[in-house]
Structure 1
């Protein structure tokens, strides 16, 4: 691959195109192995097995082979005796298919994959009491819809970030505070609007409509009944007339704003950092309507061949120094305040700012069972989101 780990990961984030096609199930309570209702969590840990197979986004398991100065895997191997074998993936769909082979012990799952892994019983509940570093993780990342089912945690939060509004300062001397510049007012900059290229971007439109069309009754941008979904799709079809390009490539957006081909659109803090470092004239903000975003989770395979090494990895990658190295290298906020002692850029990523984090609607797989708690209607699942996105893009 030619792009850096961060570029490859953000380029692929939530580009999954497969249907969910499964219903979430209740899981067992305790004990080892599995049960008729699903995998169960470990009661206690034993001796590490000497090996672990990790399936991860590029940049999440650096061992010094890409850059001798970037290595948090080797210290883990020395500390635990667990020899790490890593395979990287480019999309959540790829990760889902690979997990079904049974060849991997742990996986770093984004919000569009985690619920599908639970539903297919490919991952097991995690007994967080067995992890000494779990308590230090920010509370606002725990027990969330994308990592917890039926009150059971299915993994350890890794890092998180928001999809921000980026504007060119020359075009917008006064920084906008609303997403209306890419939706209702997109025509004012027709041809120079950019948007994220993924079905999950439909949630950005739904989030905007939560504020600007409250009569639709949208409470969660990932829980849309047919009427709410149709309104979100229609907004994106209207936006399409003004979009100069869709992007899911890190370098593509950097170059687009540098050249002036794009002057307004969705972005990430890490991209703003790169543009600032290269003398760019951009700015980013989290608009008043809020923002979508991501929070990845480390999950253990339901049939892990190395469960003790798997727990050791989850605990290690949540430790302050390791988490700081991994999330800093990737370009996202760490999962704990202690990790910020090993980074000098936590403020830029609003790490630990619970109020800021509360404004983020983290990527979550849309499923037929409405995630906002409604029981009287069916919500539109991710298969339909994928089909609609293809129609929007044309």
Structure 2
């Protein structure tokens, strides 16, 4: 009896200790972007005992503002690699000990070694997913998917096109349409004219996945710019008539990473969370039941069915050749893009 009592007491102490060690894990990300999926939250909390507390943003600038105004609140933040330098300049994130992240070794080597994420021998961002900002279509409007980005400019789509209300994305769209490199735009006048010519075709601008999905669900649009992972979710999760069309002129590529904000109160939990987000177990369920962008983990992608979109299409060499990955832009460039975009929108009203 004494032995049984001692064992129960020990178990009780162990459970109390586990409960005491459990912490909140504050995650800042886009809403509906993997990290807040109920299955993922449930699995991670069961695995670690920590409680996931999600917060969301609708733009990278809002994300940076939340980090600035809430120092020490967040433990994990999703940062587009092109915005990492801005976060570093403002000392909003801290170095990550990648040795504590078991699945880090499965990340595509080129992405893991990105100069945008590694500075002075320290790693500040762990590559998580990548994808495209390109054309998505309403299947009801096309017998065959378009092959050119200039489809958006055709008069038969007047009032039936949508693009995101984001100055950088708009300018990069104009660069692709005029045959220019999105990271080295030499003719801004051509970009401005191209976007001005597009405006009569635009029904409205979107800012969230829900905006885009509602427009296609009510058959208000024929096509528009969209994120590849979002198009996948629209089809898989919401059963909408949406298909991705990567045009011959190219597509904007982006790399999303997880970082640990400076002052995190749960660094250990953050490392475990990032590790879980890179796991094949998480990724395959996310992709198959919800729809996801491409994992930065080669092992996670290899765990998908051979005919899956993120292996067969996104992994195709001919698609890779068309992708121009976003690089950081200066504050001066961002201001220039914003002024151009605002002047176009004012002129369109």
Matched, 1:57 2:57: no
TM-score, length-scaled by structure 1: 0.68
Task: Give the C-alpha shift of residue 312 in structure 1.
Answer: 2.5
Matched, 1:312 2:272: yes
Matched, 1:347 2:308: yes
Rate the CA distance shift 1:323–1:156 in 2: closer, same or farther, 3 A. Answer: farther
| Deviation digits for residues 331-382 of structure 1 (CA, Å, limit 9, x no counterpart) | 32223243246655972234771633453334444215xxxxxxxxxxx422
- Shifted more, 134-143 versus 232-241: the winner is 134-143
Q: Which residue among 126, 130, 133 is the counterpart of 2:96?
A: 126
| Deviation digits for residues 38-79 of structure 1 (CA, Å, limit 9, x no counterpart) | xxxxxxxxxx9743332222234337xxxxxx3223433444
What is the match of residue 366 of structure 1?
A: 329
Rate the CA distance shift 1:74–1:256 in 2: closer, same or farther, 3 A. Answer: closer
What is the match of residue 39 of structure 2?
A: 71
Distance 1:322 1:276 in 2: 16
Q: How do 1:136-285 residues align onto structure 2 when only pairs under 5 Å count?
A: 136-144=106-114, 146-149=116-119, 152-167=122-137, 172-183=142-153, 186-201=154-169, 202-209=171-178, 211=179, 218-219=180-181, 221-224=182-185, 228-257=187-216, 259-269=218-228, 270-271=230-231, 274=234, 283-285=243-245
Which secondary structure state, in structure 2, belongs to the residue aligned with residue 300 of structure 1? Answer: strand
Distance 1:283 1:308 in 2: 40
| Deviation digits for residues 145-197 of structure 1 (CA, Å, limit 9, x no counterpart) | 543445643211222222232345665444321112224xx335322232222
What is the match of residue 16 of structure 2?
A: none
Distance 1:75 1:280 in 2: 28
For the 8 Å contact 2:162–2:221, the answer to whether it is kept is: yes
Q: Which residue among 60, 69, 72 is the counterpart of 1:102?
A: 72
> How many residues are treated as equivalent by the alignment?
318
Distance 1:308 1:272 in 2: 32
Task: Give the C-alpha shift of residue 82 in structure 1.
Answer: 4.0
What is the match of residue 86 of structure 1?
A: 54
Rate the CA distance shift 1:157–1:231 in 2: closer, same or farther, 3 A. Answer: same
For the 8 Å contact 1:92–1:112, the answer to whether it is kept is: no
Distance 2:78 2:221 in 1: 32
Which secondary structure state, in structure 2, belongs to the residue aligned with residue 241 of structure 1? Answer: helix
Higher helix content, 1 or 2: 2
Distance 2:94 2:221 in 1: 44
For the 8 Å contact 1:123–1:302, the answer to whether it is kept is: yes
Rate the CA distance shift 1:267–1:62 in 2: closer, same or farther, 3 A. Answer: closer
For the 8 Å contact 1:133–1:319, the answer to whether it is kept is: yes
Rate the CA distance shift 1:177–1:113 in 2: closer, same or farther, 3 A. Answer: same
For the 8 Å contact 2:283–2:295, the answer to whether it is kept is: yes
Rate the CA distance shift 1:284–1:316 in 2: closer, same or farther, 3 A. Answer: closer
Which secondary structure state, in structure 2, belongs to the residue aligned with residue 160 of structure 1? Answer: strand
Unaligned runs of 5+ in 2: 1-19
| Deviation digits for residues 231-262 of structure 1 (CA, Å, limit 9, x no counterpart) | 32232122112223222343443444455532
